Amino acid sequence: MSEGRRPKIGVVTFPGSLDDRDALRAVRLMGGEGVGLWHADRDLRGVDAVILPGGFSYGDYLRCGAIARFAPIMDEVRGFAEAGGAVVGICNGFQILCEAGLLPGALIRNRQLRFVCRWVDVRVETSVSPLSADLVAGEILRVPVKHGEGQFVASAGDLDRIERDGLVVFRYCSPEGAIDEPHNPNGASNAVAGLRNEAGNVVGLMPHPEHAVDPDVGATGGQPMFASLLSSTLARVSTA
Amino acid sequence: MNVRFEVLVQLKQGLLDPQGKAIEGSLPAMGWTNVSGVRVGRQVELTIEAESEEAAQAQVEEMAARLLSNPVIEEFQVLRAEQVGR
């Protein structure tokens, strides 16, 4: 992180969010300033980027993310995203972004019907996203997943467009980077673990980079993702 | 007037329904070996107070499209409660 201004990264807490504290801590560990945001507020408190964290917002009632998408703060997040601001959805946050229509597709029950909680490897597919700006395609990062409804699906037309436009940011892979069924933890279409929007400023992923920044507790595949978020955010706000 | 509805929400045909598959997979173990095509959906019952039946119908359709279902993966059907004996 260069000297001077530290990027302010907002983390939204919804009723039922679990990973907001870890996300704030990861931002701090990586050199940013974490700012807590509240679902019922219509105020982003001047942050430079927004994280929608993991958890079970509103008990995941109806569908994961379906109720959270109507929270007052989501109007602000939508406006922020449309203005080009970086928005990152992790796990439940990814589900919320899909429900809100800010990302294509949807996340349904894991194919094997079981909650999955383990380390996975993901392959970077593009550097066009706030979480992969400092990475190159082909890099492999180890991060954990923990979800019951993480199987990415989209209509055939959307899936074609997603691939054609290079919207896949991360794919589940073997430790060597091979894309195959045994290393796909939930049956996701095309092994999609993370996805961006067309503009490249909104990204969602099922794995949890915020749980993989501290070498004392395991792999650190989340570090380069947060480093990318901080440096790309800083670059954006200092040219704005 | 109060109009009562049932909204049935199902995963689109062509999308694998993991819950349906799991149920289908356990039926043969119980001796039912002739069952296929099991799909699991969601049923939402609700009452709308409106000026007219048409207004209530239009509202329930919009609610079903915008909140009760996700058009990316699901389709829905609106039934009047009388039609299903409630």
**CB contact B7 to A (< 8 Å):** no
Q: Which helix (H) or strand (E) holds A76?
A: helix A72-82
Instruction: Please report, for the domain that includes residue B25, its CATH number.
Output: 3.30.1280.10
**CB contact A61 to B (< 8 Å):** no
Q: What is the mean pLDDT of chain B?
A: 92
Domain residue extents for chain A:
8-239
Query: What is the phi/psi pair of residue A93, to 5°?
Result: -65, -35
Q: Which residues of B touch A154 (CB under 8 A)?
A: 72
Q: Residue A169, SS3?
A: strand
**Distance set, CA B10 to CA A101, A163, B14, B46 (Å):** 20, 27, 11, 17
Mean pLDDT of B42-60: 96
pLDDT tens for the 240 residues of chain A, in order: 455 789 999 999 999 999 999 999 999 999 999 999 999 999 999 999 999 999 999 999 999 999 999 999 999 999 999 999 999 999 999 999 999 999 999 999 999 889 999 999 999 999 999 999 999 999 999 999 999 999 999 999 999 999 999 999 999 999 999 999 999 999 999 999 999 999 999 999 999 999 999 999 899 999 999 999 999 999 998 876
**Distance set, CA A146 to CA A60, A65, A67, A221 (Å):** 15, 16, 21, 15
Q: Complex ipTM, two decimals?
A: 0.79
Number of structural domains found in chain B? 1
- Non-local (6+) Cβ contacts of B81 within 8 A are B4, B5, B6, B45
pLDDT at B84: 65
pLDDT at B86: 59
pLDDT at B9: 96
**Per the structure block, which two tokens stand in for B76?**
């829905």
- Give how far A157 is from chain B: nearest CA, Å: 11
Mean pLDDT of B45-57: 95
- Judged by CB atoms closer than 8 Å, whether chains meet at B18 and A112 is answered as yes
Mean pLDDT of B38-63: 95
pLDDT at A240: 65
pLDDT at A5: 84
pLDDT at A239: 78
CB-nearest partner of A111 from B18, B67, B72: B18
The range of the structural domain enclosing residue B55 comes to: 2-84
Check whether B85 has a pLDDT greater than 80: no
Question: What residue type is assigned to position A40 of the chain?
Answer: A
What is the rounded radius of gyration, in angstroms, for the C-alpha atoms of chain A? 16
- Candidates B40, B43, B72, B75: best to mutate against A (most CBs of A within 10 A) is B72
Q: Which residues of A134-152 are buried (b: 16+ CB within 10 A; e: fewer)?
A: ebeeebebbbbbbbbbbbb
**CB contact A71 to B (< 8 Å):** no
**CB contact B71 to A (< 8 Å):** no
Band (B83; pLDDT cuts 50, 70, 90): low
Active site residues of A: 91, 208, 210
With a threshold of 0.95, does the pTM exceed it?
A: no
* Residue A192: burial class (beta carbons within 10 Å; 0-12, 13-18, 19+): buried
**Per the structure block, which two tokens stand in for B24?**
């289908």
**Can you name the residues that pair with B46 across neighbouring β-strands?**
B5
pLDDT at B16: 82
Pick the CATH number of A8-239 from 3.40.50.10790, 3.40.120.10, 3.40.1800.10, 3.40.50.880: 3.40.50.880
